[in-house]
Structure 1
Amino acid sequence: MAKNRFNHSWLHDHINDPYVKLAQREGYRARAAYKLKEIDEQDKLIRPGQVIVDLGSTPGSWSQYVRNKLSQGTRRGTAEREGGIDGMIIALDLLPMEPIADVHFIQGDFREDSVLIQLEEILGEREVDLVISDMAPNLSGVALADAARIEHVCDLALEFSQKHLKPDGALLVKCFHGSGYSQIVEKFKRQFRTVAPRKPKASRDKSAETFILGKHLKQAR
């Protein structure tokens, strides 16, 4: 009974969520686009000419937003613009993703050599300006186990960034307040000169979700 009440409550909140309605109106695949939009507007992360990698990209709303920012054309009334982009977007996910114009999508695990080889073929000689990650592990409700899973996902993004980011590049990852959060922040501080938490308004108040932004690598490759 309690589970049914919870599901009904979540569905009610979701249907009445202003960001869900906005996403539907503007053509974004998920309300998550507005989390990235708020952080980008605060920190000026996304600029024309950049190379941007979207880790855990499916269903694609973050890649849609990035494409808008790099777009050279005019808006068609939804999340998509015509005219190509000034820059490069590479999206990776274990799950399939519906195509987005001008976005290179690689399906697979970015820890695997075969996936990294595909990424490096697309990049060529270019280094990455920005890595964004809205990845979240499947949570079990067991605090210690979930903290370890969250930390692992953040570790993967940090490791990826150390290998591929420009020295003045940035990494934005989703994280959760709770056990293990301070350790993740410390790892960011070891790798980046500037580290800041971000909690956009589009991130639900009830959620422990937050984002960590790291800028400027301390040790360039």
Structure 2
Amino acid sequence: MKHIRTAKGRKVSSTRWLERQLNDPYVKRAKADNYRSRAAYKLLELDERFGLLRGVKAVVDLGIAPGGWSQVVRRTTPAARVVGIDFLPTDPIDGVTILQLDFMDETAPARLREALGGPADLVLSDMAANTVGHPQTDHLRTMGLVEAGLEFATEILRPGGAFVAKVLAGGADNNLVAEMKRHFTAVKHAKPPASRKGSSEWYVVAQGFKGRTDAAAG
């Protein structure tokens, strides 16, 4: 195991992060496989379990930076249209349209729909709010992103489509799960092996979009 000498002025937390990176097998695999982040394997593992990428033709990647999930989509289904969004800059990915814009910007949903040019088969969200160290606050802020992602997914998904979103420990709250079950035939929580054991992140996987109701459409 590699250890980092604590440099003067470097925070202990930064040193621990560097040690985790150096000793993380997924980080090494990502470099070997030319993925931009270890997060690529989270999507690969979710896909292996749920078949998310099977036959998809149009995908939206919310919180695309640095681009690992879109890389997986492009390698798995090269013909699929992919549109991603993030307020952080993201290096270009062949075959992916990238919008540098905060998803919570009121213009974001319309710009994503325009860029995709039609309904989506899959909406992916690896978005997470910047943590402040207060568990309840962090949870509420991340759930706000999940709710916004779900609302967008119900507007752009074709019937039968799927929505995947990052949540924190404990998963989506009961009201949010109930809302997902209203729109999808199956809703499950999963923690892919590539998620660090000490991490509080989980993913909620909603499949079988039922289509927009008359109320939603109006």
Out of 166, 174, 184, the position equivalent to 2:176 is 184
SS of residue in 2 equivalent to 1:25: helix
Out of 98, 102, 119, the position equivalent to 2:95 is 102
SS of residue in 2 equivalent to 1:195: strand
Residues 207 and 113 (structure 1 numbering): CA distance in 2 closer, same or farther, change over 3 Å?
closer
Residues 180 and 113 (structure 1 numbering): CA distance in 2 closer, same or farther, change over 3 Å?
closer
Q: How many residues align?
A: 205
The Cα offsets for residues 126-177 of structure 1, whole Å up to 9 and x where unpaired, read as: 2110000111100111122112101101011101001101121000000011
Is 1:133 matched up with 2:140?
Answer: no
SS of residue in 2 equivalent to 1:177: coil
In the TM superposition, structure 1's runs of 4+ consecutive aligned residues that sit over 6 Å from their partners are none
Question: Identity of paired residues, percent?
Answer: 39
Aligned pairs for 1:59-70 (under 5 A) are: 59-70=66-77
**Shift in Å, 1:183:** 4.0
Residues 150 and 116 (structure 1 numbering): CA distance in 2 closer, same or farther, change over 3 Å?
closer
Does the 8 Å CA contact 1:48/1:69 hold for their aligned counterparts?
no
Does the 8 Å CA contact 2:172/2:204 hold for their aligned counterparts?
no
Is 1:214 matched up with 2:206?
Answer: yes
TM-score, normalising length: structure 2: 0.86
1:118 is aligned to 111
Is 1:55 matched up with 2:62?
Answer: yes
**Structural RMSD (CA):** 2.1
1:89 is aligned to 82
**Shift in Å, 1:115:** 3.2
**Shift in Å, 1:121:** 2.6
Q: What is the distance in 2 between the residues matched to 1:187 and 1:147? A: 18
Which residue identity is paired with 1:105?
A: I
**Shift in Å, 1:106:** 1.1
1:28 is aligned to 35
1:200 is aligned to 192
Does the 8 Å CA contact 2:171/2:202 hold for their aligned counterparts?
no
2:3 is aligned to none
SS of residue in 1 equivalent to 2:52: coil
**Shift in Å, 1:104:** 0.8
Q: What is the distance in 1 between the residues matched to 2:124 and 2:210? A: 19
Residues 219 and 22 (structure 1 numbering): CA distance in 2 closer, same or farther, change over 3 Å?
same
TM-score, normalising length: structure 1: 0.85
Does the 8 Å CA contact 1:148/1:180 hold for their aligned counterparts?
no
Q: What is the distance in 2 between the residues matched to 1:139 and 1:214? A: 25
1:39 is aligned to 46
1:14 is aligned to 21
Q: What is the distance in 1 between the residues matched to 2:77 and 2:172? A: 35
Residues 113 and 9 (structure 1 numbering): CA distance in 2 closer, same or farther, change over 3 Å?
closer
**Shift in Å, 1:92:** 0.8
Which residue identity is paired with 2:184?
A: F
Question: Which ranges of structure 1 fall in alignment gaps of 5 or more residues?
Answer: 72-85
